[in-house]
Amino acid sequence: MSGRRGGGKSLSWAVKFENRGLWTRNAVAGTSVYGETRRKFSGSEYRRWDAHRSKLAAGMLLTNNDPSILLPEAGTQILYLGAGHGTTVSHLHDHLCGKDNERGGRLVAIDIAPRCLRDLTHLARSRKGLVPILGDARKFTTWGALIQRRVGWLFQDVAQAGQVDIFLSACARFLAPEGLALLSLKAASERFSDKDEDEVFAEVGQRIVAAGYQLVEAISLAGLEQQHTLFVARRII
Amino acid sequence: MTFRTAMVWVWFDWRAAAVVDEQGQIMDLEIWQGRMSIEEAMSRLELLAASALTPEARRLAERFPEASVHPAGAVELPEAEYPLPSVEEQEVADEAALKLAEMGVARSAGDPDRRLEHLMGATDELRASWLIYESRLVEWVALFIPQARFERDRSALAGKVADSASLAELAESLGCELPEVGPDESEWQVLKQSGERVRTIGRELERLENASKELAQQHLPSLSALLGPLLAARLSVCAHGRMRLARLPAGTLQVLGAEKAFFNHLKTGSPPPKHGHIFMHPWISRAPRWQRGNISRTLASKAIIAARSDAFGGEVWGAEQIGEVEAKVQEIRDKYPRAKRG
């Protein structure tokens, strides 16, 4: 079955597929985060989740499996490494926490750039349950005290050399058994390799399996993102 | 206490510390008893971020000197039932984390690298528009006063246009005759305003450059002494910060700003660029062509040392060190007074 599907389809209580795009129920009704369209569906306001700007949304549109398994369970604790300006984070928050954190979720978002944190802290002020941290995603000890319980869902998008090592050790340290981990990998960030893209991606897949994870899918984001693949791994034990 | 052969760890987070053995058994526990406030949680989270110990962790580390001490999140720690914060405590910590993030963002305004970046960016943009406005003004005035020649001193023109009440007055101040046809009154007014604008932007540019110079001299004193503050600032911004600049090889500093030529060289095998921004330095731009590559190599290798001295808190370069570099450059000039033939 093709990844793109037509007609309204609900992926979670707050995420739906409508008009060939993804929408999330707006936790802060009346506001857009990055200039995205808002629209009402049966009484509640939704924000359009731009798949060109969010690799998670792109992955959900292009996956061969059920896109809803890529989402965390609403009301749980998740970890987001390399949060950027909060585009994906805001939609995840819609789903995970909802208005005034009615679902009781907790989204810990880490980024190293003060410029990104400026946007994230503004976002966190209006969205309860979002915890932004200015820190290095590689240095677990500087922020690890805020992740006490293992998380059921982890996303990493850091686009730097050695991102696979960071991903595997973050999963080993913070991912709960049966938890889902997503790695957005940019081939060009693996700098010192002279392999071509496909070889890089194949090798990363092998490394994830060798580390004891089930590789659920490697979604090529071609068409929506350049040179990116979204790896979906599940912790078996 | 007897000596243990088994491994023991001290685990700690912002509110508790625990001693744990290989089986994941908690052998000792210290929980922070103080009043739970956001400020206190912030200072404790800051300790963790700075890889320092909390008081609880320090007490346990003293009690178990053989234990290896790691904050929560460290890969080395064994699996164990570590004490978890309550919901209220977690809320306090989350609020503290958000405040810390806001403080970190506010603090980044003090980063001279970011400040220089804006100063240089603003200078470049303003200079680009100033050049456009100024060249338009020169052409515009020359249309009405064809006799006027500006090769010598275009800079005074804007002021003269702005200060003249009419075209006749302008012609007089330029020492030219007034031609028969001239602009309408409204046309003259906009011409005059355009002169005012060029003058204003020119002054603003000067202030911007002074601000850049001042900051560069504080932030990059040695490199500024060797290359001049504006070139030093440009190189630092081009390398995305002083620390990154200091870690570049000299050869990269030499061609910073000549990326197009450099990557064209890698791609097609065209001759490599001899100099990037560093060409602005008069030792290179005023040198005869055949000496430039050699001098820019020498200057770049010395400049990178100056940049490292700035970045890692070394001695600030003075006349003595600059004199040594100049002597080396002089050697090159003496050695190759003439272009190689052939």
Contact B105 A140 (CB under 8 A): no
Multiple choice CATH, B221-335, 3.40.50.1100, 3.90.420.10, 1.10.246.90, 3.40.50.300:
1.10.246.90
B-interface mutation test, from A85, A101, A141, most B Cβ less than 10 A away: A141
| C-beta of residue A190 within 8 angstroms of C-beta of residue A199 | no
Say if B80 is an interface residue toward chain A (CB within 8 Å): no
The shares of helix, strand and coil residues in chain A, as percent rounded to the nearest 5, are 30, 30, 40
Q: Kindly report which listed range (A187-196, B284-293, B319-328) carries the lowest average pLDDT score.
A: A187-196
Q: Of all residues in chain B, what percent carry a pLDDT higher than 90?
A: 73
Q: What separation in angstroms does the CA of B223 have from each of B201, B208, B274, B327, B331?
A: 29, 20, 20, 17, 22
pLDDT value of residue B18: 93
pLDDT value of residue A3: 42
The number of residues making up chain B comes to 342
pLDDT value of residue B331: 95
**Domain B8-109 classified CATH 3.40.50?**
no
B105: chain A residues, CB-CB within 8 Å: 114, 117-118, 121, 134
* Type of residue found at B212: S
Going by DSSP bridges, is the β-strand pair B16-21/B8-12 parallel, antiparallel, or unpaired?
Answer: antiparallel
Q: What is the mean pLDDT of residues B156-177?
A: 89
Q: How far apart are CA A208 and CA A203, in angstroms?
A: 9
Q: What is the mean pLDDT of residues B64-92?
A: 89
| Position B116 pLDDT exceeds 60 | yes
B107: chain A residues, CB-CB within 8 Å: 114
Segments of chain A scoring below 50 in pLDDT: 1-6
Q: What is the mean pLDDT of residues B314-339?
A: 94
Contact B51 A141 (CB under 8 A): yes
Say if B70 is an interface residue toward chain A (CB within 8 Å): yes
* Type of residue found at A138: R
Say if A202 is an interface residue toward chain B (CB within 8 Å): no
A149: chain B residues, CB-CB within 8 Å: 84
* Closest chain A residue by Cα to residue B73: A144
A-interface mutation test, from B94, B100, B111, most A Cβ less than 10 A away: B94
pLDDT value of residue B233: 97
B72: chain A residues, CB-CB within 8 Å: 141, 144-145, 147-148
pLDDT value of residue B342: 59
- Fold for B112-213, please state it: Helix Hairpins (1.10.287)
pLDDT value of residue A156: 96
pLDDT value of residue B5: 56
pLDDT value of residue B150: 75
B96: chain A residues, CB-CB within 8 Å: none
Contact B82 A148 (CB under 8 A): yes
Which among A146, A147, A173 is the nearest to B75, CB-wise? A173
Over the Cα atoms of chain A, what is R_g?
A: 17
Q: What is the mean pLDDT of residues B215-239?
A: 96
pLDDT value of residue A1: 40
Any idea what DSSP says for residue A14? S
* Closest chain A residue by Cα to residue B105: A114
Q: What is the mean pLDDT of residues B199-222?
A: 96
pLDDT value of residue B340: 80
Mean per-residue pLDDT over chain B, rounded: 91
Condensed to tens digits (0 to 9), the pLDDT of residues A7-47 reads 578 999 999 998 889 999 999 999 999 999 999 988 899 99
Q: What separation in angstroms does the CA of A123 have from each of A11, A26, A37, A80?
A: 24, 13, 17, 15
| Position B3 pLDDT exceeds 70 | no
SS (H, E, C) chain B: CCCCCCCEEEEECCCEEEEEECCCCEEEEEECCCCCCHHHHHHHHHHHHCCCCCHHHHHHHHHCCCCEEEECCCCCCCCCCCCCCCHHHHHHHHHHHHHHHHHHHHHHHHCHHHHHHHHHHHHHHHHHHHHHHHHHHHHHHHHHCCCCCCCCCCHHHHHHHHHCCCHHHHHHHHCCCCCCCCCCHHHHHHHHHHHHHHHHHHHHHHHHHHHHHHHHHHHCHHHHHHHCHHHHHHHHHHCCCHHHHHCCCHHHHHHCCCHHHHHHHHHHCCCCCCCCHHHHCHHHHCCCHHHHHHHHHHHHHHHHHHHHHHHCCCCCCCHHHHHHHHHHHHHHHHHCCCCCCC
Q: Tell me the domain boundaries of chain B.
A: 8-109, 112-213, 221-335
Condensed to tens digits (0 to 9), the pLDDT of residues B127-166 reads 999 999 999 999 999 899 888 877 767 888 999 999 999 9
How many angstroms separate the CA of residue A107 from the nearest CA in chain B? 10
| Position B6 pLDDT exceeds 80 | no
Say if A170 is an interface residue toward chain B (CB within 8 Å): no
Q: What is the mean pLDDT of residues B34-49?
A: 90
B75: chain A residues, CB-CB within 8 Å: 140, 169, 172-173
Any idea what DSSP says for residue A27? S
**Domain A50-235 classified CATH 3.40.50.150?**
yes
| Position B79 pLDDT exceeds 60 | yes
- B22 Cβ contact list (under 8 Å, min separation 6): B6, B7, B78
Say if A3 is an interface residue toward chain B (CB within 8 Å): no
pLDDT value of residue A50: 94
Contact A125 B98 (CB under 8 A): yes
Return the structure tokens found at A14.
């707050």
Which among B13, B49, B75 is the nearest to A169, CB-wise? B75
How many angstroms separate the CA of residue B53 from the nearest CA in chain A? 12
Say if B73 is an interface residue toward chain A (CB within 8 Å): yes
Going by DSSP bridges, is the β-strand pair A151-156/A130-134 parallel, antiparallel, or unpaired?
Answer: unpaired
Contact A121 B102 (CB under 8 A): yes
| Position B63 pLDDT exceeds 60 | yes
